[in-house]
Amino acid sequence: MRSFNVALLASLAIRSNGQQMPTGLLGFNSGATKDNNAAKAQSDFQDEFTTAQDLRGSPGLFNSVRLYTMIQSGTETDPISAFPAAIATNTSMLLGIWCSGTESIQNELTAMQNAIDQYGQRFADLVVAISVGSEDLYRASESGIQNEAGIGQGPDAIVQFIRDVRAAINGTILSDKPVGHVDSWSALANDSNSAVIEEIDWIGTDVYPYYERDKGNDFSNSTTIFDYIYGTSLNASQGKPVWVTETGYPASGPTFGQAVASVSNAGQYWQDIGCDKLFGRVNTWWYTLRDSNPANKEKFAITDDLSSTAKFNLTCAPGGAAPAAINLESKAPSPYSHQLLSITSALFLGLMVIW
């Protein structure tokens, strides 16, 4: 197991196939529904995006979101309400197109065109890239089927969908946006899926050491597992940028293999992986700000009820490569402020007497 080379990742992130690639993005994933399966409204997305940007002590500004679909939940082709929320909060977007369980992505493409027509350049300016699918190849794989991961897609279908997206954005204000695919490291490393990688501009990999029980997933081994998984994805990338589209550690949930879900481990994972390896260097969408999958027993949300104060310390250690902490000012007075005021007053009075 080897550690990945940060300098190499940075050089790969700059340019692929002649396209200028976004770098240093910080954000979270966001599903189309809430944890009770109700559709998110614009206000729900806007609350998430506002909290993300206001996180106390965050290492840089978390002002990007990764979406899984273009379609508003409960509709056929209405643009997802995350779009106007992003415009209102100046949040950049990694757009998603859901590709599993269907023979056509036309509804997704229609929703995208509707968004272009409705929001115009304000929408396009915030789009950093388009992801065609999410873990489809993994779900269709032998391990995905064994793990009952759900309905997936084979590489031929994903390649066709990628071509459909390129045709749909050609000649539009999204024509220069890089097109990619998100999947598990094991699917990306499978030679039978190489045609997908050949077709895209960038790769998104989802990295969860917590779930790698066949690799000795005690928390103390998390960094080693992460390095192996990311390195494997990088080796499969054919020289294209590799972005971390999901990673995180559950704050609560069942023990999985040797992995124990806890706030302490979630916080340490943020430090070891986010601060030491990713933030400000590799485009990263953390999983997650707010849980939205009621079927998932593991809860990854870093905040309770979208509080801007996270469950654990977000500030990275000084002197590292991560961005400096922001949002350090407390909106409430410190419990020690009255003591400091009393001490300051006493010193001032003492100096006045001496003078």
Catalytic sites, residue numbers:
135, 246
Residue position matching structure tokens 């990999």:
205
Distance CA 125, CA 13 (A): 20
Distance CA 279, CA 324 (A): 10
Residue position matching structure tokens 């992505």:
105
Decide: helix, strand or coil at residue 91: coil
The pair of three-digit structure tokens given for residue 250, joined into one six-digit string: 């559950």
75 phi, psi to nearest 5 deg: -125, 170
Q: Name the strand (E) or helix (H) holding 207.
A: strand 202-207
- Asked if 290 and 55 touch (Cβ cutoff 8 Å), the reply is no
- Asked if 111 and 79 touch (Cβ cutoff 8 Å), the reply is yes
Decide: helix, strand or coil at residue 78: coil
Residue position matching structure tokens 């293999």:
257
Distance CA 273, CA 282 (A): 11
| Number of Cβ within a 10 Å radius of residue 117 | 11
- Asked if 157 and 196 touch (Cβ cutoff 8 Å), the reply is no
Closest Cα partner for 163 from 179, 140, 182? 179
